[in-house]
């Protein structure tokens, strides 16, 4: 990789932590290491990182708590690397806002590819074909595609994760069109996940919590059962 990135690896198993560090550093990245939640929180508070690899089973605190703390402060990509394979752990992590979930044992090449994909998406949207330009106004909201910001009626920025923003811009750019889940997975750069994966549903739920006045009766993002979602609000593009 042409530009070295700074990556925080959080893992309580020293052997696995050494392996992660070796994989990343062999690819030209710089790695900061933490084996506890306290160490991870301290490191994240004193330096900036381009990506976080996070185990969920830590000796002092659950990794989901660490992910929640990181996500409250930053939109840095988070890849969970965990031995927990149950669907409930995946859904819980997605609801917090992690960007990817890998079950141990992970193939080193696969992990490196997932890291590469997240780093490439950090500065932009999903695939190039889904990137849009300009200002999009809907209801009391304004989405700025270049600045990647969402502003409310009071002019305040509403923080969105990369995946949330990519999903919203895909919806906003195709108002009143029914978008299937596989299309939306493509738009957020998750085409490798199955259409039945709940990633899109979880992200839709998080978006609704941020932009809908009533999440139980959404005005903007409407569900088309058995198909996908439709952005039902009039959009003005400038």
Q: Please give the CATH topology (third level) of the domain spanning 6-121.
A: Rossmann fold (3.40.50)
What is the tens place of the pLDDT at every residue in 174-189? Answer: 899 999 888 888 888 7
**Confidence tier at 125 by pLDDT (50, 70, 90):** very low
Is CATH 1.10.10.60 what the domain over 128-237 is classified as, yes or no?
no
**Mean model confidence pLDDT for the chain:** 86
Query: Is-same-fold flag (6-121; 128-237)?
Result: no
pLDDT score, position 130:
45
Q: Which residue has the higher pLDDT, 225 or 126?
A: 225
pLDDT score, position 131:
55
Mean pLDDT of 211-229: 92
Mean pLDDT of 118-131: 58
What is the tens place of the pLDDT at every residue in 80-111? Answer: 999 888 888 888 888 888 888 888 888 888 89
Sequence spans of domains, the chain: 6-121, 128-237
Q: Is pLDDT above 60 for 194?
A: no
pTM above 0.75, yes or no: no
Mean pLDDT of 50-57: 94
Which residue from 9, 5, 163 is spatially nearest to 81, judged by alpha carbons? Answer: 9
88: phi > 0 → left, psi -120 to 50 → alpha, else beta; which? alpha
């Amino acid at each position: 990789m042409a530009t070295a990135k700074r990556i925080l690896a959080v893992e309580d198993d020293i052997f696995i932590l050494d392996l992660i560090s070796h994989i990343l550093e062999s690819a030209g990245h710089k790695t900061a290491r933490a084996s506890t939640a306290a160490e991870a929180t301290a490191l994240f508070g004193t330096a900036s990182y381009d990506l976080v690899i996070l185990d969920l089973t830590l000796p002092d605190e659950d990794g989901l708590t660490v992910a929640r703390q990181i996500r409250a402060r930053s939109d840095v990509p988070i890849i969970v690397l965990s031995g927990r394979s149950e669907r409930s752990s995946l859904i819980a992590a997605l609801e917090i806002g992690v960007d990817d979930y890998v079950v141990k044992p992970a193939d080193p090449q696969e992990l490196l590819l997932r890291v590469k994909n997240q780093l490439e998406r950090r500065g932009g949207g999903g695939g190039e074909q889904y990137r849009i330009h300009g200002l999009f106004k809907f209801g009391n909201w304004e989405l700025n595609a270049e600045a990647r910001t969402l502003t409310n009626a009071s002019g305040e920025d509403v923080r969105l994760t990369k995946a949330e923003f990519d999903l919203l811009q895909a919806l906003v750019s195709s108002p009143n069109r029914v978008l299937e889940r596989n299309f939306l997975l493509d738009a957020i750069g998750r085409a490798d996940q199955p259409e039945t994966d709940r990633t899109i549903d979880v992200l839709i739920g998080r978006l609704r919590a941020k932009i809908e006045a009533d999440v139980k009766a959404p005005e903007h993002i409407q569900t088309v059962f058995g198909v996908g979602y439709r952005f039902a609000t009039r959009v003005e593009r400038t």
